[in-house]
Amino acid sequence: MNDNLMVKEATYPARFMSKLTMGLPMSEYARKLVTPFNIVAAILLTVGLPLIGLRFWQGLATVTHASNEYPWSILLGWGLFSGVPLSGTGYVMATAVYIFGFRKYHPLVRLGVLTGFMGYLFAVIYLLIDIGRPWRIYYPMAVSFGPTSVLFLVAWHVATYLTVQLLEFSPAILEWIQARRTRKWAILITVAMTIAGVILSTLHQSALGALFLMAPGKLHPLWYSAFIPVFFFISSIYAGLCMVIAVSTIGARYLREKADDQFLENLDELTVGLGKAACIVMFVYFALRMIGVAHDDNWGLLLSSSYGYWFLAEVLLFVLLPCIVLTVGVKRDDARIVRAGAFHAIAGVVLTRLNISILMFNWNLPGHFQAIVPPAREVAIVLSIITLHVLIFRWILNRMPVMREDPAYLEDGH
Amino acid sequence: MEKPVKDAGNGSGRDERTGGGKGVNRRDFLRGVAVAGGAAFLGTPTDVQALHDLSGWPDRMGMLTDLTECVGCRSCEAACNAANRLPAPNAPFDEKSVFERKRRPTASAYTVVNRYENTKTPGNPIYRKVQCNHCEEPSCASACPVRAYTKTPEGPVLYNQDVCFGCRYCMVACPFYAPAYDYDSALEPKVVKCTMCHGRIKAGGIPACSGACPMGAITFGKRGTLLKVARDRIRKFPDRYVDQIYGEYEAGGTSWLYLSGVPFGQLDYPTNLPRKPIVENTKGFLSAVPLVLTLWPALLGLCYAANRNKEEKG
Amino acid sequence: MNSKAVLTIVLCWMVALTATLYAGAEAPAAGPKGKMPGKVLLGSLADKHGPVNFDHEKHVGTAGSCDECHHQHGGAQAPSCGGCHAVDATSFRKNVHLGRIRPCGECHPASYDAGKLDRPTLSAAYHRACINCHREVGSVGTDPKGCAEMCHESSAR
């Protein structure tokens, strides 16, 4: 018995290393890492990561455009307000498969959940860089409660949902480290976690929009609407669907060997199916945006200033147009068109979020458009975090059963 | 049940020590009950409803700035700087060149005075003092996820840096662009804003700026009395003032009130603010939160059960 | 000069001033010269500010009328009689009819008075009276030199 234990202990590090290097000898693994993509990534990280250090050494003023008038910069405009809707992938896919019973989308669930989890994780990372005293991030949960605040709700829900998503994704991790018994427990809670995920997502996706309800004097009236929470929630649904299309497209292209046949063979059909769902939601969303204009009787603003034209560009070119592209793709059963539409729609979601959090926020301050141009340092930080995001995502796809099913667990389902 | 609210002055509240202001009040109590009941998670619409009745504090104080009296001497800036032991400014307080550009309160200045062209009497510039307006229903306090802000019964809205984690949502929510942030501090950044000299008020004194104004342009007193005084001035000198007391209704009303000879919009006062407290705008959303929390699981559970049923039969 | 001495001088001046005013009260309109003060040391707030050596005689010539500064009866900013004091026949005859100028401090509180928020403090009243004409003269600031440039004695503070 003692001997047995000794052997086990000796092999743990070896097994662990083999997991990390994907079964390759260390030297070969290191050699395989030198690719053009990785070199660019390394450069971006070399520039960006020290700048993050600079923020904690010299203060936010040295790296961001944030100011007393513009408390939130692109770190949040991009990282939080754009990142969170694009991470709606997890709750959208899990609901479709586990609650609504669209079983054929099962090959995409894990990818959706992972995309969502990583999105939230990195949203929190952007947040940790941006907030003044990141080591106090748990204060809304433990030290001092501000229940009248929409941000209080966001804090609670994002924290809870991050945990929920980790649990949702845990089967893949547990399969990777071959923890069969724990995995069984993780599978058992799938439905409960999915329902929790939908509730939390509904609330915090919409709450991110509701944050701006506190700034009626600052956000341009075309974007300020009592319906903002609804806009944010509905757009997160199609953002999630389109992100699954986008991520699966990229995954199937660049990490083809990490996907199984079931994934690759069904992908086109599933893509069109997702596109169909997305274009329906987008039509609803477009209609809601128009109702928003009607509700505040803002028609007059639409054609009277450049802000109006910009609003029209957003809803026509970045909501309606991709929606039409998706519809055409679905009608022709052409996954390529659907993919193009999905990428376009994603760009639209990012644009909407940037419009509300940055471009149209403080629109009436003098010198507004000079004030919002982010400094190079902040852009470098954002680029380095995006790079880190992609690298870690790839690292997981390379190792864990995400785009494939581990044959050892096939009979268990999920 | 509820941690007593710390003496919540800006900086370390040196000046506020005398008052030892324990801002625990009816609203805090309600919030405490809500949190204790686990209702924090639910968004607590009851709490929001409790927010807009301030009849319990009839003696809250205010400030009345008469812009027609201000001559731009910046004595208030100097007095504020001294009273709050803020860092020395780059240019001395009698330097007039600072008026060449518009300034705003910063991490090292609770208040600043700006100069504007006078459209009514050209050549006779108008000076506008800017600082936190100490709202009746402060947006910053409603927006703060860690309740770092307290509306005191005396009127001032105080900030407590001991719980603040620096999300700066208060700055987003403030309709008057009042709070400033210490962006240069790497590890201990905090929000900085006027305290209306809460400590002095509690000790029976008057705010430093008001006491220092040689022109008597800043009058300290009970808000109710100041409104009467302001109305009286408008009534007696209709040619001197525009018929508006800025702060009487803006964003639910502010402790700081203003009289002006020209329309307030010409002096960069936000004129697009609702008359009701801004927190009302989130009320509908927060009320919907418990609905989602209770209805969603039921509906989704039903969907799940229906599908299971179908699969088992099929 | 210590503050006690200043106060003594100020008090003497005020007594003298009051005496002068009362002496001339019977016939103010006739022969203003001699009845009116020449130079006045405005120092009732001397514990806070250096006293102002005010050349009254010079200002009589430059100001349009007495009401420009002594606004209490009939001036542009004058509140109604009842706004300051109860008016009866005696007080009317004594104050209004005879046109007697009253010391500013009689209405304007020397320091913050929560009961008289509608009236500027004495210091504010002085400043308003002077600055309204002298608005762009000197650098009106907190630097004693700036204030001294215009009015205040530089030795103060």
Residue C7 in domain: yes
The reported pLDDT for the residue numbered B108 is: 94
Name the band, by pLDDT with cuts 50, 70 and 90, for residue C68. confident
Q: Which of B69, B94, B219 sits opposite C128 (nearest CB)?
A: B69
CATH tag, B1-281: 3.30.70.20
Does residue C156 sit within a domain?
no
Query: Do chains A and B meet with 3 or more Cβ pairs nearer than 8 Å?
Result: yes
Let me know if residue C35 belongs to a domain.
yes
CA distance C132 to C127: 8
Q: Which residues contact A56 (CB under 8 A, 6 or more apart)?
A: B186, B187
Task: Please give the single-letter amino acid code of residue C142.
Answer: T
C-alpha dist (Å) from residue C150 to B38, B70, C57, C122, C140: 65, 17, 17, 18, 8
Which residue type does C35 have?
Answer: K
What is the three-class DSSP state of B26? helix
Which percentage of chain C shows pLDDT scores above 90? 1
Q: Model ipTM?
A: 0.90
Amino acid occupying residue A32: K
Ramachandran quadrant class, C138 (left: phi over 0; alpha: psi -120 to 50; beta: rest): left
H/E/C letters for each residue in A147-160?
CCCHHHHHHHHHHH
Chain B residues touching A64 at Cβ < 8 A: 183
- What is the model's pLDDT at position B207? 96
User: With an 8 Å Cβ cutoff, is A56 touching chain B?
Assistant: yes
A contacts of B286 (beta carbons < 8 Å)? 148, 150, 153, 210
CATH number, domain of C10, equals 3.90.10
DSSP labels, B168-234: -HHHHH-TT---EE-TT-SSS--EE---TTHHHHHTT---HHHHH-TT--EEEEEHHHHHHHHHHHH
Q: Tell me which residues of chain B have a pLDDT lower than 50.
A: 1-51
- Residue C155 falls within a domain, yes or no? no
Interface of A with B in 364-403 (CB under 8 A): 364
To the nearest whole number, what is the mean pLDDT of chain B? 84
pLDDT tens readout for residues A314-340: 999 999 999 999 999 999 999 999 999
Kindly list the structural domains of chain A, giving each domain's residue range(s) and its CATH number in brackets, ordered by start: 24-401 (1.20.1630.10)
DSSP string, B54-90: -TT-TT-EEEEEETTT-----HHHHHHHHHTTPPPPS
Instruction: Name the stretches of chain A with pLDDT < 50.
Output: 1-7
* Residues B150-184 pLDDT 10s: 999 999 999 999 999 999 999 999 999 999 999 99
Q: What is the mean pLDDT of residues C136-145?
A: 48
Q: With 80 as the cut, is the pLDDT of residue C157 above it?
A: no
**Gap from C37 CA to chain B (nearest CA, Å):** 25
pLDDT of res. C29: 38
For chain C, say whether B206 makes contact (Cβ under 8 Å).
yes
Rounded Cα gap, residues B295 and B268, in angstroms: 46
- Please state, in angstroms and as integers, the Cα–Cα distance from residue A192 to each residue in A109, A168, A196, B44, following that order: 16, 10, 6, 24
pLDDT of residue B178: 96
Please name the amino acid found at residue A176.
Answer: W
What is the number of structural domains in chain C?
Answer: 1
Which residue of A81, A189, A214, A377 is the best one to mutate when testing the B interface, meaning the one whose CB has the most B CBs within 10 A? A214
Q: Find, among B162, B191, B149, the residue nearest to A136 by Cα.
A: B162
Give yes or no for residue C47 having a pLDDT over 90.
no
> What is the pLDDT, as a whole number, of residue A214?
96
* Host domain of residue C40: 3-150
Residue C82 lies in a domain: yes
Q: Closest by alpha carbon to A146, among B160, C73, B237, C104? A: B160
Of B34, B35, B300, the CB nearest to A195: B300
